[in-house]
Amino acid sequence: MRYWIGVASKDHVALGVKGGFCQLCHGKAQPLKRMEVGDWIIYYSPKKTRNGVETCQQFTAIGRVLGDEVYPFEMAPGFIPFRRDIEFLPAQPVNIHPLIPQLNFIQNKSRWGYAFRFGHIEISPADFELIASHMLAPEMLLSQAKDAGNAVPQMALFQ
């Protein structure tokens, strides 16, 4: 099992959550092919809208990869990005700034945005757990723990 961050504007993430899918790196298939069924993904949204200037700087969605298929989907004539099905959990957006000092995948804390430049990165289980623990309501963590057979929430609930 692996843990990922995808980068997209908040409005685009909302479309994916509503439709139960993810797209990465402007619709490229390769990042989606790196993921496997059961992997987890968290979206980071640097901006509120794709072409807008208003910053967001939040983790905006969390979900688990479903199905083996990476498939094309025609969004508009001539634009056919690739998608992968995701089961998103109910989550609240979380500001990245308070978490930066604790996130290991951000090596240079003064230039933290650099970590997101490729649009899709693998992160450690510890970084995933830190972000997820802030995004998910306590009752969701308990529900996930119960589903995973754990008495209390811990990293095993995301395995």
Q: What is the pLDDT of residues 4-44, one digit of tens each?
A: 999 999 999 999 999 999 999 999 999 999 999 999 999 99
Do 121 and 5 meet the contact criterion of CB atoms below 8 Å apart? Answer: yes
Q: What is the pLDDT of residues 148-158, one digit of tens each?
A: 544 434 444 55
123 strand-pairing partners:
3
Secondary structure element (H or E) that encloses residue 86, with its range: strand 82-88
